A = this chain, B = another copy of it.
């Protein structure tokens, strides 16, 4: 049977596109045509966001393999936001996209199990187990060691899911802790990479990649290249392209034989309609068309760097 990472790789090959669309909605970025249609109370705002997310999914599901909703932007709206998160995941799955839930959870064993059951597995409601969400992958924080990761790995095995563990993050201060050198000369992120390698051993699929893989930022190309060597079986979830400054030629360093990574773009895809590139071509109400156009441009740019290697 194909495991979660095999299914993601198949989808990347089918669409010929190593992109995941980050769905990080905020009221401020909604097009006027949506803002004017809905009220400004929390329920209406979340309905507007759901319409926006769905329109972006409908405009790209045949050319982008996966979406990555960042749950913070839904938790910001309390229960209405969580409902919107769930409906967004469901809609993407119905359209055939895979869903990577960017939750970055990490906690002690029983608590990590609670998170894992909620987002990847099944949770005990009364006397029976139920799935709350339709999600394929989740992101996980490694600071607590294997205790915080193992419950997720168990659910990956049981429900054919996957995780991406934070190794080297894309933000400016990621080095403050992650780049510190250990007494054996290795950095912390290299050590975490080794841990993730060992955690993922049992879940290597047909393509030679593991469903327990890693987050490695596009903004650190040297580390991306280095980690590609250290983690040959890890498929990289690569944030930091576009707005954060990561370039296609940098990202290519995380790939090998045209595989190895999936690149996140959030603002540059969601807000394409407001960008210098597309704002004179597409009107406010054509926001989804602008996103599709930008997705095609990004796909071609990434492929030309990755396949040109």
Contacts and interface: CB of A to CB of B under 8 A. Distances in A.
Interface of A: 24, 26-28, 39-42, 44-45, 70, 72-73, 75-80, 82-83, 86, 104-112, 114-115, 117-118, 123-128, 130, 132-133, 141-148, 166, 169-178, 180-183, 185, 188, 191-192, 195, 239
17 contacts: A24-B111, A26-B124, A27-B124, A27-B125, A42-B125, A72-B105, A76-B114, A76-B115, A104-B105, A106-B106, A108-B171, A142-B143, A144-B166, A144-B171, A146-B173, A146-B176, A183-B185
Interface centre among A39, A73, A144 (most CB of B within 10 A): A144
Given A83-B79, A147-B172, A126 B44 contact: yes
B171 A72 contact: no
Nearest to A143: B143
Nearest to A185: B183
A75 B166 CA distance: 21
A275 B70 CA distance: 40
B77 A125 contact: yes
Contact of A118 (B27, B75, B192): B75
A127 B40 contact: yes
A177 B188 contact: yes
A126 B171 contact: no
A111 B170 CA distance: 12
A139 to B, nearest CB: 9
A115 B176 contact: no
Contacts of A141: 104, 106, 141, 143
A40 B79 contact: no
Nearest to A130: B42
Interface centre among A107, A166, A183, A188 (most CB of B within 10 A): A107
Contacts of A73: 111, 114
Contact of A192 (B39, B79, B177): B177
A234 to B, nearest CB: 17
A111 B72 CA distance: 6
Given A75-B115, A176-B195, A188-B188, 17 more contacts: A26-B124, A27-B125, A40-B127, A42-B126, A70-B111, A76-B118, A77-B123, A77-B132, A78-B132, A79-B86, A108-B169, A108-B171, A108-B239, A143-B166, A145-B178, A148-B173, A177-B191
Contacts of A142: 143, 177
Which 8 pairs show the lowest CB-CB distances between chains A and B? Answer: A40-B126, A145-B176, A145-B173, A72-B114, A108-B171, A79-B79, A147-B173, A147-B171
A124 B28 CA distance: 9
Contacts of A27: 124-127
A118 B128 CA distance: 31
Contacts of A44: 126
A84 to B, nearest CB: 10
A168 to B, nearest CB: 10
